[in-house]
Every structure is written in structure tokens, then in C-alpha cells.
Amino acid sequence: MAVQTIDNTTEATPDTGPAFGPAVALSCRECGERVPLGPVFACQECFGPLEVAYDLPTGDPEALRKQIESGPANIWRYAPLLPVPADVVDKPNLNPGWTKLVKADNLARELGVTGGLYVKDDSGNPTHSFKDRVVAIALEAARTFGLKTLSCSSTGNLAGAAEAAAARAGFRSCVFIPHDLEAGKVVMAAVYGGELVGIEGNYDDVNRFCSELIGDPIGEDWGFVNVNLRPYYGEGSKTLAYEICEQLGWRLPDQIVIPIASGSQLTKIDKGLQELIKLGLVEEKPYKIYGAQAEGCSPVSAAFKAGHDVVRPVKPDTIAKSLAIGNPADGPYVLDIARRTGGAVEDVTDEQCVAAIKLLARTEGIFAETAGGVTVGVLKKLIETGQLDPALETVVLNTGDGLKTLDAVAPTTGPTAVIRPTLAAFREAGLA
Ligand SMILES: *Cc1c(COP(=O)(O)O)cnc(C)c1O
Ligand SMILES: [Zn+2]
């Protein structure tokens, strides 16, 4: 099926074929208009973003819980809640997810968190970032729609995740990144053998270029995981919410601190928590959602602090390149969620990000990429400024592996000493 725009909105009857599991339609987040499931992302009535609407399983939550628990140790254990076919486990993909939820007692002690602190460590995914989750769902949609080329606009991690998934699934791939990304991310995107194009510009330029490509005949049969497949892509982030609650013993934490690039992950984690409540899989209780940005790209944090409902685009300048989206598509929804749940959006400087990377490494043995540094740094700042109650149970996300952003810590990290291989030299170095 070629990439199409919506043209039959009003008389749309949902396509409830088995290819999309419990998903029944796409619905507009702004006006509620429903359209059939397809490779489309914007409402033709109001240009609002489309998201996947479900007819979720009703009935005994205990039976659903058992079904999930007996599923595979990856995101497909939640297939009954995702827009994927029931036989998704049998298809070639990278099977991401079911990453560790680490009880972070040492970090809690340093930060003064008394209510319990967990790190959801998504660096353990196949390409070492949370992006494998979102790509896996988009890939299934691309398969169903018969799209031939897997593509994306990326700040780095998504390019690697898409290229790896395409390699395994036998798709042609061609992905687009800003030309000046970290070496680790460029290599990790290129090694899978697909096409990788560096664009002379920042992420927002890359994204604009991809939108143009979609409208051109060149882009026919292309599945851009985060553009025309964005509604499906977004659903992958819900699995973070599902896993956190299941790993806590099927209950909600009191609060979660989440990094923000486009804001998709944060909004879909909230969607996932709401679904668990609706399904009766967890007991309902209030929870707070906090968002984390780097000061050098903090349009959502700035809007939150100013009390604005709209997000004013910025030109990013930060070492946290995976979060460097100056015009975040889901920014206004992030503001809604932070305000509705009683959370907040905060930002930290690059120096605070680096310090937080080292703090997490030193206390818990987890080496985070800059996005994780931003998130842990923001957690620290939220406590210090009294915006987050340390007596409540808290989950903080680490969404990527520190090996991808070595440059962030390399200048201030190295051997304690370099010595000749003799005991005398070791004593001289003052380390004995
Ligand atoms: C993409 C990304 C995020 C969040 O992205 P959203 O666009 O807000 O969903 C967070 N951390 C890392 C490491 C990422 O690559
Ligand atoms: Zn609409």
C-alpha cells in the first residue's frame, strides 16, 4: 500500500482485522475524529496528531495478568494491549524490552529518597536504547501496510534501532540524522549495512526534510517509523509503563521521572498507566509524572515554568543530543500531563548532566548516556528545589547506554594513575 493521506474521514468504518490485535482505528487527539488504521499521522479535519484507539480486552483482570506473565520476556508479553498481530512473536524482529528495574538504594541514600527509588534501565535493549521498543511496533505496521523501505529522522538512537530492526526483518532501510552526531551513534547506525544520510542541519531540519520526502513520489512505499508510522511507534513506549508496574508486583509507583525529546515517550507512558488502571491490572491511585530536559534544549521546561500552554521552539545547544529536539511535537501534551498529575518539568545544565552520569555510575554501576544523565540530574534538582517529595516511591528512567556518548565524560574521566609495572611505582603513586 502506498503512503496516503486521509480522504474518507467521515464514513470511516474501523478496520478490525487481526493484523492490529485489539486496535480498532486511529483517533485524533484534538477533535476525536476516527479514521481507519493506515500509514497516516495527522487528522485531516484539524491537523491534530492521530493515535491508536483500542477495543481493549474486558473481563477478568486475573486471567489477563496470567496470560501476560506466561508470555515471552520481551515487549510481546503485552501483545494483547498493542497494535500487533497475535503471532508477532513468530516474526523476525529484535524482541526488545523486559529490561531491568533496579532497586537503587545507594543512589537513594545520596539523594535523600526515603520512599524507595528504582532505575528502569533501558540501556539493556538490543541496540542499547529505549528506541528498540518503538521501532518494533512501527516495523509490524510497516509489514502489514506492505511498505518496503524503513526510514526515520533521528537524533541518533532511533537511526541505530531502525537500521538493526530492518536488517533482521529484511527491509531496505535509509535513515536520516544530523551530520554532527556523536561518533558512537553514527557507527551504531551505519554498521547494520543500511543507508545512512547525514543532513547538514539540526534534528528539526532533518525532520522537515523527511516530511517533504513523504509527500514526494520518492517516499512512496516508505515507512518513516516516527513520521507516517508515528501513531504505532508511540505505542511502543507504553510497554515501559506496563513493565514498571508488573515488575513492582502489578502496582503503580508514586512518581516517574522521564526524559523529553519530542515528548512522545512521556505521553505514552501516561497512556499505558491509564490503560492498566482501566483494565483493572493495577489498583487506581494518584501518580505524578515529571519531565526532564537539558537546559540547552528546554522548550517544554520553559513553558512549564512560565505557565504557558504552548511550547515555543528553540535552537538546541546541548551535549544531550538524543534529547535535542527544539520543536517537540508532543510538548503541549507533556505540559497537560505534568500539570494534571501534579508533577513538573525541569532542566539541568550539561555540567549537571555529566555529574549525574558519574553519580549513577558510582552509586549503582549503571553507565548512562547523556539522556540518562539529564534525567537523574533533574531528579536531583527536583528534590533540592522541593518539587518532588523524596518520601514517595520514585522511578527514574535511564533510556540509553553510556558507551554511545563517551565524549560526554571522556574529558573528565580517566585512569587514577599511569605507572611502571613495579610495586615501588604503585607505592609512589600513593595508592598502596
Ligand atoms: C528518543 C529518546 C528519548 C525520548 O524521546 P521522545 O521523543 O521524547 O519520545 C529519550 N532518551 C533517549 C536516549 C532517546 O533516544
Ligand atoms: Zn482532528
Q: Is the dihedral of CA 367, 370, 371, 372 positive or negative?
A: positive
Closest by CA to 292, choosing from 326, 316, 266, 264, is 266
Whether residues 307 and 406 fall in one domain:
yes
Residue whose CA is closest, atom 7 of ligand 1?
262
Whether residues 317 and 366 fall in one domain:
yes
CB atoms within 10 A of CB 248: 16
Instruction: Identify whether 419 is part of a domain.
Output: no
> Which among 54, 86, 118 is the end of a domain?
86
Structural domains of the chain, count? 3
Instruction: Identify whether 104 is part of a domain.
Output: yes
Closest-approaching ligand to the CA atom of 50: 2
Instruction: Compute the distance between CA of residue 230 and CA of residue 210 in angstroms, rounded to an integer.
Output: 13
Model pLDDT, residue 130: 97
Of 51, 99, 130, best ligand 1 pocket probe by most atoms within 8 Å of the beta carbon = 130
Residue whose CA is closest, atom 5 of ligand 1?
261
CA dist 176 → 4, 8, 54, 202, 225 (Å): 21, 31, 31, 11, 12
Residue 121: which domain range? 100-128+237-412
Which atom in ligand 1 lies closest to the alpha carbon of residue 261? 8
Whether residues 291 and 350 fall in one domain:
yes
CATH classification of the domain holding 300: 3.40.50.1100
Closest by CA to 357, choosing from 296, 301, 323, 400, is 400
CA 106 to chain centroid: 26
Of 99, 125, 131, best ligand 1 pocket probe by most atoms within 8 Å of the beta carbon = 131
Whether residues 115 and 171 fall in one domain:
no
CA dist 415 → 264, 362, 408, 411 (Å): 39, 15, 16, 12
CA dist 292 → 88, 259, 288, 297 (Å): 33, 4, 13, 10
Ligand 2 centroid from CA 28, angstroms: 5
Whether residues 288 and 140 fall in one domain:
no
Ligand 1 pocket (Cβ < 6 Å) reads: 129-131, 157, 259-265, 322, 369, 371, 399-400
Whether residues 115 and 48 fall in one domain:
no
Instruction: Identify whether 356 is part of a domain.
Output: yes
User: E strands, 16-137, where?
Assistant: 23-28, 34-35, 50-54, 100-103, 117-121
Contact call for residues 125 and 67 (beta carbons, < 8 A): no
Q: At which residue does the C-alpha cell 537503587 appear? A: 104
Which atom in ligand 1 lies closest to the alpha carbon of residue 226? 7
Model pLDDT, residue 17: 58
Query: What are the helix (H) ranges across 279-330?
Result: 299-306
Closest-approaching ligand to the CA atom of 401: 1
> Which among 204, 231, 258 is the end of a domain?
231
Buried b (16+ CB within 10 A) or exposed e, 197-230: eebeebbbebbeebbebbeeeebebbbbbbbbbb
Instruction: Identify whether 162 is part of a domain.
Output: yes
CA dist 390 → 116, 301, 394, 428 (Å): 8, 21, 8, 44
Closest by CA to 155, choosing from 264, 229, 51, is 264
Residue type, 365: G
Dig out the grid coordinates for 94 from the structure.
Answer: 529484535
Whether residues 354 and 335 fall in one domain:
yes
Query: What are the helix (H) ranges across 170-298?
Result: 183-190, 203-215, 230-235, 238-247, 264-278
Closest-approaching ligand to the CA atom of 235: 1
Whether residues 191 and 218 fall in one domain:
yes
Instruction: Identify whether 184 is part of a domain.
Output: yes
Instruction: Identify whether 95 is part of a domain.
Output: no
Ligand 2 centroid from CA 53, angstroms: 14
Residues 6+ apart with CB under 8 A from 326: 202, 203, 204, 297, 299, 313, 314, 315, 316
Closest-approaching ligand to the CA atom of 263: 1
User: Could you write out the DSSP letters of every residue in 399-417?
Assistant: -BBGGGGHHHHGGG---S-
Supply φ then ψ for residue 140, to 5 degrees: -60, -40
Which atom in ligand 1 lies closest to the alpha carbon of residue 268? 9
Whether residues 241 and 220 fall in one domain:
no
Whether residues 4 and 112 fall in one domain:
no
Instruction: Compute the distance between CA of residue 95 and CA of residue 84 in angstroms, rounded to an integer.
Output: 13
Which atom in ligand 1 lies closest to the alpha carbon of residue 260? 8
Instruction: Identify whether 423 is part of a domain.
Output: no
Tens of pLDDT, residue by residue, the chain (432 residues): 334 334 434 334 444 458 999 999 999 999 999 999 999 999 999 999 999 999 988 889 999 999 999 999 999 999 999 999 999 999 999 999 999 999 999 999 999 999 999 999 999 999 999 999 999 999 999 999 999 999 999 989 999 999 999 999 999 999 999 998 888 889 999 999 999 999 999 998 999 999 999 989 999 999 999 999 999 999 999 999 999 999 999 999 999 999 999 999 999 999 999 999 999 999 999 999 999 999 999 999 999 999 999 999 999 999 999 999 999 999 999 999 999 999 999 999 999 999 999 999 999 999 999 999 999 999 999 999 999 999 999 999 999 999 999 999 999 999 999 999 999 999 999 988
Q: At which residue does the C-alpha cell 508470555 appear? A: 71
Whether residues 9 and 26 fall in one domain:
yes
Instruction: Identify whether 418 is part of a domain.
Output: no
Q: What is the pTM of this model?
A: 0.94
Whether residues 10 and 75 fall in one domain:
yes
